[in-house]
Structure 1
Amino acid sequence: MSQTAMKTPALPRLVLGAEDHGKLTTMANGISGPMAAVADQLMTELDRARVVAQGKLPDDAVRMGSVVSFTTTDGFDRTFQLVFPGEADISSGKVSVLTPIGAALIGLREGQSIPWTSRDGRKLTLTVVNVRPGD
Structure 2
Amino acid sequence: MENAICVTRTDYQRILNVIGTTSGKPAGGIAGVLIRELERARMVAPAHVPGNVVTMNSRVLVREVISGRVTEITVTYPDEAAGVNGKVSVLSPIGIALFGGREGDIARWRTPSGIGEFRIEKVVYQPEASGHYHL
C-alpha contact (below 8 Å) 2:62/2:71 kept by paired residues: yes
C-alpha contact (below 8 Å) 1:28/1:40 kept by paired residues: no
Residue identity in the other structure for 1:28: I
Normalising by structure 2, we get a TM-score of 0.78
Match of 2:84 among 78, 81, 91: 91
Partner of residue 117, structure 1? 110
Give me the whole-angstrom Cα distance separating, in 2, the residues matched to 1:95 and 1:104.
11
Partner of residue 96, structure 2? 103
List per-residue Cα deviations over 1:84-119 (Å, max 9, x = no partner): 01111222221111100001111001001233212x
**Gapped regions of structure 1 (runs ≥ 5):** 1-9
Residue identity in the other structure for 1:21: Y
Q: RMSD of aligned C-alpha atoms?
A: 2.2
* Distance change >3 Å, CA 12–CA 126, structure 1 → 2: farther
- How much has 1:78 moved relative to structure 2? 1.8
Give me the whole-angstrom Cα distance separating, in 2, the residues matched to 1:80 and 1:102.
9
Deviation larger for 95-104 or 109-118: 109-118
The runs of at least 4 aligned residues of structure 1 exceeding 3 Å deviation read: none
Match of 1:27 among 18, 31, 36: 18
Match of 1:72 among 64, 77, 93: 64
* Aligned residues between the structures: 121
In structure 2, the residue corresponding to 1:92 is in which secondary structure? Answer: coil
Give me the whole-angstrom Cα distance separating, in 2, the residues matched to 1:36 and 1:72.
28
Give me the whole-angstrom Cα distance separating, in 2, the residues matched to 1:123 and 1:78.
18
C-alpha contact (below 8 Å) 1:14/1:108 kept by paired residues: yes
Residue identity in the other structure for 1:27: V
